[in-house]
Amino acid sequence: MPANTIGERFRVTVIGESHGPLIGAIIDGVPAGLPISEGDIQPMLDLRRPHGELYSTGREEPDSVRIASGLYRGMTTGGPLTLLIENRDVDSRPYEGPPIPRPGHADYTAWIRYGGRNDPRGGGRFSGRMTAAFVAAGAVALKLLRRIGVEVLAYTVEIGGVRAHADLSVEEKRRRYEDPLRCPDHEASKSMEEKIMKARRDGDSVGGIVECLVVDVPAGLGEPIIDTLDGDLAKAMFAIPAVKGIEFGAGFKVARLRGSENNDQFIVKDGKVVTLTNNAGGILGGISNGMPIAFRVAFKPVSSIARKQRSVRLDTMEEVELIVKGRHDICIVPRAVPIVESMTAIVIVDHVLRAGIIAQNLDGYERPG
């Protein structure tokens, strides 16, 4: 079955290609009665746009979003909500010529999978540009989540091996977008920037880690044993290009802990069951336990680097040397922060709708009884 759609009740289908006329998201399942406009979505898209011109792609896209269906008198109708973003700054010249896959990119696997019929320009559907569509949909999901007080906070914790310090307050994390690398630890951010600039001078790239917290999330979300909350979050994260790993709570470290160290013991606080620690990252048995959902996502270094590499001309099977052309990011981690937030919001809102916490008709929700 083709797989360009994520979600059960909040279903997001992503359309378009990097160098085609447009990209976009069609969301089926947005409850009727949500007031929304382009102005609610644009700020989130602006956060994803390249900002540090020295380490982000030189492609300058305004990423202006247009709502093309599903809206009447400023409110969602319950019909599919279509969000469209035109591609304006397209230069496909570097992608003309014989098929020579970039090492580390999806060019080779796409060639195999689609028999060479996929659109290779700018990576086509494998381009990081596709994430603008997810971010547009994520802005709608975030608006829905705000109605029930759920907050999604992602931020950079590592770039090029430089790690932010671990004791950051939620307040500091909330100010993440004040930092150019979206890292709440500004000292670490400066060292991260040096690593990026060094990679740039070397004709290379660097990766890093984005951490995400979902705060004030209701307990009881998740559909075990297959559509678990952690499973669905992991799947959503792997829809982001360049993601190579995810760990929840204490993550891989649990393999080295004893049960007595790893167990999060239960207590009662303000009449609510909470845990003393959060090694589980807010999810037990695939179901949210009411503690903050916490996970980290690993991004690989961008594959399109300015260095000579070995590759194969696929139509003739000749071995060749390749210098990748086109406009590329040196480090995508800062741009990934709003993308991780968006994908997280899409999954959480899907499960909130599945749990019936937000009704399909928001008027009904706002006038209980």
Q: Which of 54, 58, 65, 6 is nearest to 227 (CA)?
A: 6
Q: Which is nearer to ligand FMN, 36 or 240 (CB)?
A: 240
Q: Is 247 helix (H, G, I), strand (E, B) or coil?
A: strand
Which residue minimizes CB distance to ligand FMN?
128
Site size toward ligand FMN (CB under 6 A) is: 21
Does 336 participate in binding ligand FMN (rule CB under 6 A)?
yes
- Retrieve residue 79's tokens: 């019909």
> Is 302 among the residues that bind ligand FMN (CB under 6 A)?
yes
Question: What stretch of H or E contains 47?
Answer: helix 38-48
Options 60-68, 121-129, 347-355, 357-365: segment touching ligand FMN (CB under 6 A) = 121-129
Of residues 128 and 292, the one with the C-beta less far from ligand FMN: 128
d(CA 297, CA 301): 13
Q: Encode burial over 172-202: b for 16+ CB neighbours within 10 A, e otherwise.
A: bbeebeebebbbbbeebbebbbebbbebbee
Looking at the DSSP bridge assignments, the partners of residue 267 are 274
Amino acid found at 286: G
Q: How far is the CB of 130 from ligand FMN (least distance, A)?
A: 8
CA 29 to CA 166: how far, in whole Å?
38
In the complex, least distance from residue 98 CB atom to ligand FMN, rounded to whole angstroms: 19
The answer to whether 311 contacts ligand FMN (rule: CB under 6 A) is: no
Which residue, 186 or 327, has its beta carbon nearer to ligand FMN?
327
Q: Which two tokens stand for residue 171?
A: 């307040």
User: Distance of alpha carbon 315 from its chain centroid, rounded?
Assistant: 34
126 lies in the binding site for ligand FMN (CB under 6 A):
yes
Pick the closer one to ligand FMN by CB: 57 or 344. Answer: 57
Tell me how far, at minimum, the Cβ of 42 lies from ligand FMN, in Å: 17
Q: Which amino acid is at 292?
A: P
Q: Which helix (H) or strand (E) holds 312?
A: strand 308-313
The Cα–Cα gap between 151 and 146 comes to: 7
Identified binder of ligand FMN from the candidate list 82, 87, 127, 156, rule CB under 6 A: 127
> According to the binding rule CB under 6 A, does residue 106 interact with ligand FMN?
yes
Position 335 contacts ligand FMN (CB under 6 A): yes
Q: Closer to ligand FMN by CB, 30 or 332: give it.
A: 332
Map the footprint of ligand FMN across residues 211-270, applying CB under 6 A. Answer: 240-242
- The closest alpha carbon to 20, from 68, 66, 87, belongs to 87
Closest distance of CB 122 from ligand FMN, Å: 9
In terms of CB distance, is 176 or 328 closer to ligand FMN? 328
User: Which of 83, 89, 95 is closest to 23 using CA atoms?
Assistant: 83
In 3D space, the residue among 310, 295, 305 whose CA is nearest the CA of residue 332 turns out to be 305
Please give the residues from 40 up to 79 whose contact with ligand FMN meets the rule CB under 6 A. 57
Closer of 109 and 277 to ligand FMN (Cβ): 109
| Burial class of residue 350, CB neighbours in 10 A (0-12, 13-18, 19+) | buried
Contact set with ligand FMN (CB under 6 A): 57, 105-106, 123, 126-128, 131, 240-242, 300, 302-304, 328-329, 332, 335-336, 339
